[in-house]
Amino acid sequence: MTTEYGLKRHFNGDAARLIGGKIREVHPDFDVDEYAVEVERRIPGKELKDRVLVLAEGLRSRLPEDYPESVKIILAILGDELAEGEGMFNVSWYLMPVARFVEEYGLDHPEVSLDALVEITKRHTAEYAIRPFIEQHHELTMKRMADWARDPSHNVRRMASEGVRPRLPWARTLTAFVRDPQPVLEILEPLRSDPSEYVRKSVANNLNDISKDSPDVALATALRWSQESPTPETTWIVRHALRTLVKKGNQEALAIVGVTGGEHIRVPAMGLHPRTLALGESTMIRLDVENTDSRRHTVTVDYVVHHVRKNGQRIPKVFKLTTLDLAPGERRAVEKSHPVREVSTRRYYPGEHLVDIQVNGQVLATDRFDLRL
């Protein structure tokens, strides 16, 4: 039997029995065993989103034909709202097909569906399910999301931000917001100093999405927020939101997050040990960073690994190293162990991998390691 990994492995006949058992408590006609057998029969070879769809389709064929009546049954099984810090993927993961049910079958009933998504997102998330409603019932949905951005529930406020992210991972791209992010910014405005870390992460990720397509808009927004809302919460959001531009060495982004003096910084020593690696091993990156100026400077230090691809070309990946506050003339030693191990988003190939040290977005030193498979 093949061992399955990742979240998808949970969406099987056991998940169907879990969901079906809860439904049968409020809707006794629901056939749990038949539901589980169908799901087990249909999921082999399918990835996460398709498995979730199988479970949602099974619900649709077994719940009342009247959609609002089906939604009432589904809402009755949701349970308590997630508290701050409770994860939707470890506490209420099994509700993913419930959100998918509304996404797939609720577009003809937008009012009922949007009310349902508010309740679902308090216990799981509706960040994916909301997107077709943004596209097909735009005015109504955006009005609701503007209200949700001021909701007492941190889960609802977070969904207001996450749902309008132009490039939300695992979700369809909202191309209208890629072209014009202003409607997104209107949703984010009341969240720029939110007390919830869960919400702040979403706001920062959203503005980071915008920075990839409209960097000038993101920079202007980040600068305005920093000036108008000088709170620790806003400072964190802005710093995290500009991370892509900072890694690219955008000087305006660096200035906004308080990084200065890149032209006065040297890396007089840098090296890797060992310089020959097998997959699964690590190399230690050691370097010195020196401020040659007569003034104190705060600098951000990253390292860039140029991974060898199958065709022999190299693709750079930026890794965060540290931020240093350097006194005039100060020289600071920094070290970092970099593991070379397989991850789901990267495959390694043998060859010479370059490693750059990047200070305030400028490459100041380079070394290399040889990967042998």
Span 81-90, pLDDT tens digits: 999 887 667 6
For the chain, the farthest-separated pair of C-alpha atoms sits apart, in whole angstroms, at 79
From-to residues of CATH 2.60.40.10 in the chain:
262-371
Per-residue confidence band for 181, with pLDDT thresholds at 50, 70 and 90: very high
User: Residue 1's pLDDT is what?
Assistant: 38
| Mean pLDDT over the full length of the chain | 94
Q: Which of 2-6, 24-28, 248-252 has the lowest mean pLDDT?
A: 2-6
Q: How confident is the model over 107-155, as pLDDT tens digits?
A: 999 999 999 999 999 999 999 999 999 999 999 999 999 999 999 999 9
Answer whether the bond into residue 183 is a cis peptide, omega within 30°.
no
Q: Who's near 236: CB < 8 A, 6+ residues apart?
A: 200, 204
Region(s) of the chain under CATH 1.25.40: 152-259
Measured CA to CA in angstroms, residue 68 lies from 63, 108, 115 at distances of 11, 10, 11
Give the side-chain half-sphere CA count within 13 A for 54.
Answer: 23
Strand partners, 111: none
For the domain made up of 152-259, give the CATH fold. Answer: 1.25.40
The band of 4, judged by pLDDT with boundaries at 50, 70 and 90, is low
CATH number of this structure's domain 262-371: 2.60.40.10
Q: How far apart are CA 319 and CA 354, in angstroms?
A: 13
Residues 8-20: tens digit of each pLDDT: 888 999 999 999 9
Alpha helices (H) along the chain: 13-26, 32-42, 48-62, 67-75, 96-105, 110-123, 131-136, 138-148, 154-163, 175-179, 182-188, 197-213, 215-228, 232-241, 243-247, 251-256
Q: What is the mean pLDDT of residues 239-243?
A: 95
